[in-house]
Structure 1
Amino acid sequence: MRTRVLFAAAFALAAAALLAAERPVTPAGRSTRSVTVATNGMVATSHPLAAQVGLDVLKGGGNAVDAAIATSAAMGLMEPTSCGIGGDLFAIVWDAKTQKLYGLNASGRAPGKATLPYFKEKGLNAIPTSGPLSWSVPGCVDGWDQLRTRFGTKGFKELLTPAIGYAEAGVPVPEVISGHWKSVNKMRDPGMRETFLVRDGAALRSPNAGEVFKNPHLARSYKLIADGGRDAFYKGEVAEKLVALSDKVGGLFALKDFADHTSEWVDPVKASYRGYDVWELPPPGQGIAALQMLNLIEPHDVKKMGPNSPDYWHLLVEATKLAFADRAKFYADPVFAKVPVADLVSKEYAAKRAKLLDPNKALTDVPAGDPKLSTSETIYLTVVDKDRNCVSLIQSNYSGFGSGLSAPGTGFGIQNRGCLFALDESHANKLEPGKRPFHTIIPAMVTKDGKPWLTFGVMGGDMQPQGHVQVLVNLIDFGMNVQAAGDAPRVEHVGSASPRGEPAGAKGGTVKAEPGIPVEVVKELDRRGHVVERVKVNGGGYQGILIDPKTNVLHGGTESRKDGAAVGY
C-alpha cells in the first residue's frame, strides 16, 4: 500500500505547507480580500513577485503569452517545491486574432529504456515515487518555445531576464511556500542540497519565511536557454548533465530521449454547463473528469440545494467517484491507447452513469462505465492582456521537489511524473517507451457566447478537477465573485481507483472536509455512508481571471490558501 501515496497522500505535502500557515477557511460566499479589477491586463499566480514579473511584461508591450512565459520562469525560481524546468507544462490559449482556443500538451515521455520487463525484473509492482526510475523527460522548456514561436512577440533573452535577475540577487520566500519547503524530506541528494538549502553556520536548512533565496545555478541554466533557445536544454549542456546524472545514479535517460522530445498542440474538449462552455485538455491529463462531473451535476437544481448543504456535497462527491472510476480505466496517452473522449464527455453517457446515483446513500463500490455509446505539486498562472488574449497555464514537477534529484550545477529538480505509469500489461496507462504518463495537471477556460469569460485553474492532484467544478458551481450556481469562489470551503474526495492500476479504498474512499463545512453537514454526510475526515485545509490553489461581458473589465482572484496575488493595470 506504500504506492497509494500518489492519490491519497502524496499531496499531503502540499497540504502540510498550508497547514503550517494555519490560515482559516473563509465561510461560503465570503472572500478574504477584494477582487482585483483592471482594464488593460492582469496576471494571477501563487507568488506575488512572479505575478509582477508578468505584469511588467504586459506593461512593456508584451502579450499574454509573453507574460505567461516570463511568469512561469519566475515561478520555477520562486516556488521550486512545486515546479520548474525539470517538470511539465500544459496550456490553453485564447487567440484574439483568430478568435479560437488552442491547447498545448508539453508533457514529457518515458525514456526509451523504460520497459515493463525492466521493472518486472527488479521485482517492482509499481514505479517508485522518487529517485531516477520515476523520471520522464521534462517538457516545460519546449512548451515555452512552442508558445513563444506560435503566439509570442518577444525572445527568450528578454522573457527570462527578470527571473535571471531574481535568481542572482535573491527572492524572499513567502510563508506557505516556506512551510512546504520544510515539509519535504528530499534533500539527501548533493545536487538538491547545494541548490535548495541555505547555510546556517555549519548547517544547511530550508529557507525561513521572509528569508532571501538565491539560485545562481538556475540563473546559468536560464542564460543558456536565453542564448541557445530550447536546444540548449534538449540538445546541449543541460541534457548532457541530466544524462550524466542518470548514468551515475541508475536512471534510464539517454541523450536521444531529449533530442527527440517535442510538445503537441491539441484541441481542447468542451462540455456545456448552464449556457457556458467549459474547456479542458484531453488525456493523458485528467481535465475531462471535470467535464464528466459537470454533466452529472447539471440536471440537478444545485442553486436550490445551496452552498455548503449536505445535498450539494453528496452530489459532488458521488459525481467525483463516477468520473474517477472512468479516469482509472480509460485516461492514458491517446497515441498509445484508444481513449473514448467524445463519449466520456457526452450528456448521453452522463445520463447512463447518473442511474448509479442515490441521493441518500454513498456509493461504496464504484465500477467504471462503458462509454462506447456510438460504436497530480503544481503551480498555476493565468494572464489576460489588453487585446483579450488569454493564457491558462499550469506546470509541475509532481510531488514536492519531484524525484528528489538534481543534476549538479543546473539549479532545478527533476520531476517524478513517470511514477504515474501502471506496470499492469493490460492497463491503458501501462508503461511503454516514449509514452506520456497519466497527468494530474489541468488548465481550464470557460467561454460564453463564443467569447472568453473565465480563465482559471486549481492545482493539487486529485483536487484539480474537483476544484474546477466547485469553483464553477460557486460562480454560476451560487453567484459568488471570482475571489469568493476560490476562498469558499471545499471538500475533497480521495481514495478512488488510480490510473496506476491501484484499487479503490475501502467504503468508497474518504471525504476531506474543511473547517468551513458545518458540523451538522458532516453528520448528515456520515449518515449517508460517507467516511468524513476533518482537515484544517484541503490541498489545491486557485487563480482566476473573469472578463465581464458587459464592461470588458477584468476581475481577478487568487485564493487565501496560497501566497499569491492577482495584479493588473
Structure 2
Amino acid sequence: MAATAQPLASQVALQVLRDGGSAVDAAIAANAALGLMEPTGCGIGGDLFAIVWDPASRQLYGYNGSGRSPQGQSLAQLRERIERGKASGALPADLAGIPAYGPLPVTVPGTVDAWFALHQRFGRVPMSQVLAPSIDYARRGFPVSPVVAFYLERGWKVFNREFAGQPALDNIRDTWFRGDRAPAAGELFTNPDLARTYEAIALEGRDVFYRGRLAQAMADYFAGMDGGPEYADFAAHSGEWVTPAAVDYRGYQLYELPPNGQGFAALQMLSILKNVDLAQWPRGSAQVFHYLVEAKRLAFEDVARYYADPAFAATPAEELLSDAYGRERFALIDPQRANPGFVPGDVRVEGEGDTTYLTVADASGMMVSLIQSNYRGMGSGMVADGMGFMFQDRGELFDLNPGHANSYAPGKRPFHTIIPAFVMKDGEPLMSFGLMGGAMQPQGHVQMLVNLVDYGMNLQEAGDAARFMHQGGRQPTGLDEDTLGTLYLEPGVPAATVEGLRAMGHRVEINSSGVPFGGYQAIWRDPESGVYTGATEMRKDGTVAAW
C-alpha cells in the first residue's frame, strides 16, 4: 500500500513494490516522483526525515536527512550580507531576520543522501530501477494535478514579485513557467533538466550529487553570489541515523524524531493532554479545542527555547517528555480562559508550509513514514543551471541573535518543521502517518491521534474532520509574534464552538481555503491479520493505492 499526495506517485510506488522493491524502495520512488509532480511542496533541493519499521529486526529506525549552513560563513558575515542587501535595495529595509528568497537562506540539500542511506540499509532493487519511473515521466510528461496547479500559480506570482528583473527568474521560468505562466490542471508537463539530474544520480550514485559533477555545478551557480553553499559544503554533507522517542497516550505510543525537528512538540502536547479526559466532551466542542490549543501553545514555548541542532545545543528531551513535566505544564491551563502569558518551562539543559508526506507498507510488514520539503512551497528561488530543481530556504529558520540554541552558526542545521510520525501499541507497529505543513504538523499529529483514540474515528474520518491551526507565539527564529497568537478554524467547526472559543479569549478566524491545515496520509496495520488500511487527504490531490 502507498498513500501519497499525488495519484501518479502512489502508482509509481506500487509499481516498484510489484517489481520486487521494498517499502523503502517504493517510498524513494514516490518521493522522486513527487519532486517532479509536486514541486510546490518538495524536491531534491530540500531535506528529508523518515521513520522505518523493520519487521526483520522488529525495530523503528529514524533518519535525519537535514542539511547544514555554509561552513565558511560566520554569523557576523551573514548579518553583514543581510545589511548589504538592505542597503542596495535587494532586500526589504525592514527585514528583521534571514530572507526567505535568494542565496542566504539556502542550506545543503539532504534528500539525496537520505535516499541512499535508506536504500543501502533497506533497499532490495537497484537505485536505477527506483528512479526509472520518474525519469520517464520527466522526459515524456505527466498531467498536472489540480491542487499542484493552484500552488504553482501562487508560486509564479511570488517569484515574479521577488525576482523581477533578476537573472534568477530566468531559470525559474524555464523550468516550470514557460510562456510566463503556470501550467494548468490537466496540462502535460515535462522537466527534461530534472530527468538528466535523476539519471546521473541513478547511474553514478550519491557522490555525483555531493562530490562529483553535479556538486561542482551547484557550487559554480552560487559562486558569483553574495552567499550560498560552496563545493566544500556539499562534499562535507552527511545525514544521520537517529532514535525515535515516544510518549504513551492512553495505551498508544506516538513516536517522533528528536530535534533539530519539531516532532517532540507533538509528544509534549500529548504529555500535557493525557492529564484530562477529552472524551467527556464532544469532539467538536469549545472545551476540547481549548485544551488542544493551550497544550500546543505551551509546547511551542519550549520549541522556541530549546529545539535546535543537537550538535550545537542539547535539548533536555528526557525532562521535556516526562510525565511530571507534562503535569506541571497542564496545571498552567485555565479550563475557562486562554492564557496569553505562557512562557517556556524551566528545565535543566546541559549546554545549550509546505511539504510532502508519504507512507508505504509492503508484504513483509515494513512500513515507511517519510516527509520531505523545500520550505515555503517551492523554496528559495535558486535554480542551478540545467538541474531542474529549486534549492530549499531552510536557513530562514535560524535565529540571528547570538546565544540562542537555534542561533546561526557555520555548518549548523537549522530548526526544522518537517516531521514523520509512527504509532505503536502493545509492542506492535500500528500506524505510519504524517500531516504536512509547517507549524501545523505537530498539532495535526495530535489532532489525528485524539480523533482516533479518544473519539473512535476510523482512519479516513480522522483526517476529514475539521481541524484547527494555531499560529503565533514565541518563535525559534527569535522573531516573536504576540504570545496569544491566532486560532484558525475550518468551516466545519460548529458555530457554537467558534463563539465559545472567542468567549474564552482566543483570537479566532475561519479559513475556508484548506491551505493552513496541512495534508494527511496514513497506513494502519491490523496487528492480528496484517491487513493494511489507508487514508489520504481530501484537501490535496492525494490517493491511497494498493494491490
SS of structure 1 residue aligned to 2:386: coil
Give matches, 1:338-487, under 5 Å: 338-372=314-348, 377-487=354-464
* 2:467–2:517 CA contact under 8 A, matched in 1: no
Name 1:511's counterpart in structure 2.
487
Report what 2:159 is aligned to: 186
Q: 1:526 to 1:192 in 2, by over 3 A?
A: same
Give CA-to-partner distance per residue, 1:64-102, whole Å, 9 cap, x none: 111011111101000001110000000000101000000
Distance (whole Å) between structure 1 residues aligned to residue 7 and residue 145 of structure 2: 9
Question: Is the partner of 1:533 in helix, strand or coil?
Answer: strand
Q: Which moved more, 1:188-197 or 1:116-125?
A: 116-125
Q: Helix, strand or coil: the match of 2:134? A: helix
Secondary structure of the corresponding residue to residue 496 of structure 2: helix
Structure 1 residues 373 and 133: CA distance shift in structure 2, 3 A: closer
Using the TM superposition, give the Cα deviation of residue 160 of structure 1 relative to its aligned residue in structure 2, in angstroms: 0.5
Please tell me whether the aligned partners of residues 547 and 553 of structure 1 are also in contact (alpha carbons under 8 angstroms).
Answer: yes
The answer for the alignment partner of 1:68 in structure 2 is 27
Q: Show structure 1 runs of 5+ residues with no match.
A: 1-41
Shift of residue 438 of structure 1?
A: 0.2
Are residues 1:140 and 2:108 paired?
Answer: no
Q: Secondary structure at the match of 1:445?
A: strand
| Matched-pair contact (CA < 8 Å) for 2:52–2:62 | yes
Instruction: Give the letter for the 2:527 counterpart.
Output: P
Tell me the equivalent position of 1:35.
Answer: none
Does structure 2 conserve the Cα–Cα contact (< 8 Å) formed by 1:106 and 1:143? Answer: yes
* Partner deviation per Cα, 1:544-563 (whole Å, 9 max, x = no partner): 00012233211000010000
Moved more, 495-504 or 104-113: 495-504
Q: For residues 523-561 of structure 1, what are the alpha-carbon distances to aligned partners after superposition, in whole Å with 9 as ceiling and x for unaligned?
A: 010000000011103330000000122332110000100
Count of aligned residue pairs for this structure pair: 523
Larger RCO, structures 1/2 (Cα 8 Å, 6+ apart): 1
Describe the superposition over 1:482-523 as per-residue Cα deviations: whole angstroms up to 9, x where unpaired.
1111111001100111100122315x0010011001111110
Give unpaired runs (5+ residues) of structure 2: 84-94, 164-168
Please tell me whether residue 553 in structure 1 is matched to residue 541 in structure 2: no
Equivalence map 1:5-16=2 (5 Å): none
Q: 1:72 to 1:333 in 2, by over 3 A?
A: same
> Cα deviation per residue 1:305-363 (whole Å; 9 max; x = unaligned)?
12111010000000000000000000000010011011111111111111110010101
- Is the Cα–Cα contact under 8 Å of residues 198 and 213 in structure 1 kept in the other structure? no
State the 1:241 CA deviation. 1.7
Whether the 8 Å contact between 2:265 and 2:303 is mirrored in structure 1 is yes
Give the drift of 1:157.
Answer: 0.6
1:192-211 alignment, distance < 5 Å: 192-199=172-179, 204-211=180-187
- Mapped to 2, the partners of 1:277 and 1:91 lie a distance apart of 17
Query: Structure 1 length as normaliser, TM-score?
Result: 0.90
Measure, in 2, the Cα distance between the counterparts of 1:58 and 1:281. Answer: 26
2-side partners of 1:138 and 1:219: how far apart?
18
1:452 aligned counterpart, secondary structure: strand
Note the alpha carbon deviations across 1:156-203, whole angstroms, 9 max, x for none. 11100000000001011111111011011125421111101133xxxx
The correspondence of residues 149-168 of structure 1 with structure 2, limited to 5 A, is 149-168=120-139
- Secondary structure of 1:544's partner? strand
* 1:223 pairs with one of 199, 214, 217: 199
Counterpart in the other structure of 1:318: 294
Q: Alignment partner of 1:65: what SS?
A: helix
**Identity of paired residues, percent?**
50
Report the equivalent of 1:14.
none
Q: Distance in 2 between matches of 1:374 and 1:436?
A: 19
TM-score of the pair, normalised by structure 2: 0.94
Secondary structure at the counterpart of residue 10 of structure 2 = helix
Q: CA separation in 2, counterparts of 1:180 and 1:546?
A: 29
1:373 shift after superposition: 9.7
4+ residue stretches of structure 1 with deviation over 4 A? 373-376
Name the residue aligned to 2:257. 281
| Contact map agreement 2:256 2:264 (CA 8 A) in 1 | yes
